[in-house]
A and B are shown apart, each in its own frame.
Chain A
Amino acid sequence: MIPFAREYAISITDLEYSYPDGTKALRGVDLKIRRNETVAIMGPNGAGKSTLALHFNGILTGSSGKVEVMGIEVNKKNMRKVRDIVGLVFQDPDDQLFSPTVREDVAFGPLNQRLSPERVDHAVSRALAWVGMEGSEQRSPHHMSFGEKKRISVATVLAMDPEVLVMDEPVANMDPRGRRAFLELIKVLEGTKIIVTHDLGMARELCDRVVLMDKGLIVADGRPSATLSDEVLLEKHGLI
């Protein structure tokens, strides 16, 4: 049996966060995400979705409250372990991809995990195969199309073999074909998946659960079939 603490991939208790200018972004968030769940975090602009996502692996740490990842508390001491477990794909691939070649970018995470050169090479080719970008190792990310960059961004995180994959607006700005292909890609990935999005269709298709946020609070949490058919709720929180 799984020990109780490890039943949840992410466990957040009473998390508060204010930006340096004093804006309250999170006002007491409680959220538990089970292992292997696929969860959509939805809400209007400025609801605190991305801020919450940045707490999952300690990029931001709240002014009060507790975040646990696979039963490990997120703090300075556990940071390396936490970032091995939680992979974060940022919204803008140009923020994620900073290296002159794809290969270096995908290898960046595994190298930070201090893997041996052979295992780094293996992780790079495996991650690129997962996202359907085999053979692009020597290309420069800047020369790529938006969809390709997005795939490489996911590969840079998958190469670290995370147990929890967090994606911020994975299909925003994508053309319909690119979006479709990307949904298929996310569908086959294993593990816990957390998707921050405005895309109702994607939430319906991929997720077991929808967490709705507004003004720094969770306002609804349930199955997509229930939450996303409540038009009054959706309208109130700016999703339709």
Chain B
Amino acid sequence: MRHDFIDRYSRLESPVHALDPRAKAIALFAVIIACVTTPANVWWPYAIYAALVLIIANASRLPFSYLLTRMLVVAPFVLVVAVCVPFMHGAGPTYDLGVFSVTQGGLLVLWNVAAKALISVSCLILLSSTTEFADLMHGFERLHVPQFFTTVAAFMYRYIFIIIDEAERMKRARDSRNFRGRWLWHIKVIGHMVASLFLRSQERAERVYQAMSARGFDGSFPRWKETHMHAPDWAFMGIITATALAGRLVVLWK
């Protein structure tokens, strides 16, 4: 079975793809941090962050339709907040919308969540879609992210699709025997499937570890890939980080 990898556009060629993963990681995390710490009642810094995201997205030559689809992951969270807005009692004038009314404070919360979520998630999508996963993990390691985290992430990336395949095969075998998991009493069958998936994964983990030990693995991952930051990497990192932080700091001074 074929799957969409989270880094399926990471082999495109563009100025953004060519950058060192460390430069991209630092610059985009700077935008995220600046964004999530900016107070919601000033809107123009958000315009700066959004502009940065749009500029990078445009330079990366990623299809916009792809970016938009990926951004939908934040929709449920924003939706939950949106549903709650009429029940929030915030400051400011109240707007009557017929059956319910909303306060300006409530809308501000919605705007806050939506803007921050969208910008942060776009940054992460840009990072993961313009960098091959392996390079990204190496980049994080070079930034002294503990190897434990990068290793767990790398294994997850490698094996999640195998687990999805296994689940899919189980589901097919189950459905060919005319199972319709619609009712509450079917929950037992689903529970068994989850349990058996868990056991299979654990057994696989055991075998993977054996195969690694057979090749002399002793608990520490060897490294050998060395990359260097060049002028464009420094420039990208400097300009993006500086712009994002400038937007954030000006708000602070006012």
Contacts and interface: CB of A to CB of B under 8 A. Distances in A.
19 contacts: A80-B218, A83-B214, A83-B216, A87-B214, A88-B211, A94-B162, A95-B204, A99-B154, A100-B133, A100-B137, A100-B157, A101-B132, A101-B134, A104-B134, A109-B215, A111-B224, A112-B222, A120-B224, A156-B215
B158 A108 contact: no
B224 A90 contact: no
B134 A108 contact: no
B210 A90 contact: yes
Contacts of A140: 5
A98 B155 contact: yes
Give the interface centre of B155, B204, B208, B211 by most chain A CB atoms within 10 Å. Answer: B211
A142 B212 CA distance: 17
Contacts, number: 77
B162 A108 contact: no
A113 interface: yes
Interface of A: 54, 57, 59, 80, 83-84, 87-88, 90, 92, 94-96, 98-101, 104, 107-109, 111-114, 117, 120, 140-142, 156-157, 160
A59 B206 CA distance: 11
- Grouping DSSP codes into helix (H, G, I), strand (E, B) and loop, the A interface class, with mixed when no group exceeds half, is helix
Interface string B154-175: 1101110110000000000000
A148 B159 CA distance: 18
Closest 8 CB pairs of A and B: A111-B222, A112-B216, A109-B215, A100-B134, A88-B214, A95-B207, A96-B211, A90-B211
B10 to A, nearest CB: 11
Nearest to B2: A143
Nearest to B220: A112
B217 A100 contact: no
Nearest to B216: A112
Interface in B191-227: 204, 207-208, 210-218, 222-224
Nearest to B226: A117
B210 A54 contact: yes
Nearest to A56: B214
Nearest to A88: B214
A107 B224 contact: yes
A59 B204 contact: no
Contacts of B154: 99-100
A94 B214 CA distance: 15
B212 A98 contact: yes
A136 B47 CA distance: 44
A160 B215 contact: yes
A140 B159 CA distance: 12
Contacts of B215: 83, 87, 108-109, 112, 156-157, 160
Contacts of A92: 207
Contacts of B5: 140
A84 B216 contact: yes
A109 B222 CA distance: 10
Given A90-B214, A157-B214, 19 more contacts: A54-B210, A57-B214, A59-B210, A80-B218, A83-B213, A88-B211, A94-B204, A95-B208, A95-B210, A95-B211, A98-B212, A100-B132, A100-B134, A100-B157, A101-B132, A104-B134, A112-B215, A120-B224, A160-B216
Nearest to B162: A94
B36 to A, nearest CB: 29
A104 B155 CA distance: 13
A142 B162 contact: yes
A49 B122 CA distance: 52
Nearest to B136: A100
A131 to B, nearest CB: 16
Contacts of A157: 214-215
A50 to B, nearest CB: 10
Contacts of B204: 94-95
Contacts of A99: 134, 154, 158
A46 to B, nearest CB: 16
Give the interface centre of B132, B217, B224 by most chain A CB atoms within 10 Å. Answer: B224
A98 B208 contact: yes
Nearest to A84: B216
A96 B137 CA distance: 20
A113 B224 CA distance: 13
B214 A59 contact: yes
A157 B213 CA distance: 12
B211 A80 contact: no
A109 B158 contact: no
A96 B159 CA distance: 12
